[in-house]
């Protein structure tokens, strides 16, 4: 199972659950050395740690080749690398927004396009794309984030139709409020500078301050996702 971005939050719980099992070959990725050191305690010879920034095409290709060299196949790809960006639409920094699209959308696309030839040759495989409730509903100050998640939904739904007869299954995960680092650490936040948008200051600050108090338990969700992937990989998991 090849998992992108598993060094904080939701994805970390997912990888820890996988690492504790000796019946799964695990490829865990991070952008920097040392971010996956927590996996060393579980290393039973079936864990491969690789450096990967999904916005860099060469690193995508290299990481996939490393996985193939180690394990000989990629049966499951979990696209979980992602970031957020809180700011009103008019005041948003477009460079920040474009970078978020590079991570959340184009990085996911690049991973899928490089893994699909392997899965087609195998005549089997599962692709799991993390979207969010933000791919279903929109909230103020998150316009560009929602844009990335709607893109993930649309791309995934189209690919499902293209590969369903090739032995390849595709899933979308749409988590909502879970106790992770998404709001405080994985999201850029800028408070409104224009008085007309001042009403949204509390919304942005509240998302950061409310982190780790959400109702969702990421560990339980990780267990459910793994069970779903291993036994019944349906199209949608909410």
Catalytic annotation, pick one of 132, 145, 186, 187: 145
Q: Is 42 among the residues known to form the active site? A: no
Question: What is the C-alpha to C-alpha distance for residues 18 and 23, in angstroms, rounded to an integer?
Answer: 9
Q: Measure CA 12 to chain center.
A: 11
Q: Measure CA 142 to chain center.
A: 17
Q: Which residues pair with 126 in a beta bridge?
A: 76, 169
Q: Which residues contact 102 (CB under 8 A, 6 or more apart)?
A: 55
Catalytic annotation, pick one of 12, 49, 149, 169: 149
Catalytic annotation, pick one of 30, 131, 132, 186: 131
Q: Is 73 among the residues known to form the active site? A: no
Give 20: exposed, middle or buried? Use CB within 10 Å, 0-12, 13-18, 19+.
exposed
Q: Is 131 among the residues known to form the active site? A: yes
Question: What is the C-alpha to C-alpha distance for residues 85 and 183, in angstroms, rounded to an integer?
Answer: 9
Catalytic residues: 131, 145, 149
């Amino acid at each position: 199972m090849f998992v992108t971005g598993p060094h904080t939050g939701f994805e970390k719980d997912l990888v820890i659950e996988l690492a504790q099992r000796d019946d799964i070959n695990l490829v865990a990725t991070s952008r920097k050395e040392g971010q996956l050191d927590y996996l060393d305690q579980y290393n039973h010879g079936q864990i491969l740690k690789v450096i990967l920034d999904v916005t860099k095409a060469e690193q995508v290709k290299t990481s996939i080749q490393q996985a193939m060299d180690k394990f000989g196949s990629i049966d499951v790809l979990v696209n979980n690398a992602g970031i957020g960006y809180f700011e009103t639409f008019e005041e948003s920094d477009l460079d920040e927004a474009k970078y978020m699209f590079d991570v959340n959308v184009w990085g996911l696309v690049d991973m899928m396009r490089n893994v699909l030839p392997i899965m087609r040759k195998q005549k089997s495989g599962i692709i799991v794309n993390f979207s969010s409730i933000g791919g279903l509903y929109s909230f103020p100050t998150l316009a560009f984030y929602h844009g990335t998640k709607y893109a993930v939904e649309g791309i995934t739904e189209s690919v499902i139709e293209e590969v369903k007869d090739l032995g390849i299954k595709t899933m979308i995960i749409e988590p909502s409020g879970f106790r992770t680092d998404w709001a405080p650490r994985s999201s850029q936040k800028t408070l409104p500078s224009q008085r007309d948008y001042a009403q949204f200051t509390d919304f942005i600050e509240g998302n950061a301050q409310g982190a780790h108090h959400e109702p969702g338990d990421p560990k339980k969700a990780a267990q459910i996702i793994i069970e779903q992937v291993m036994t019944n990989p349906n199209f949608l998991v909410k």
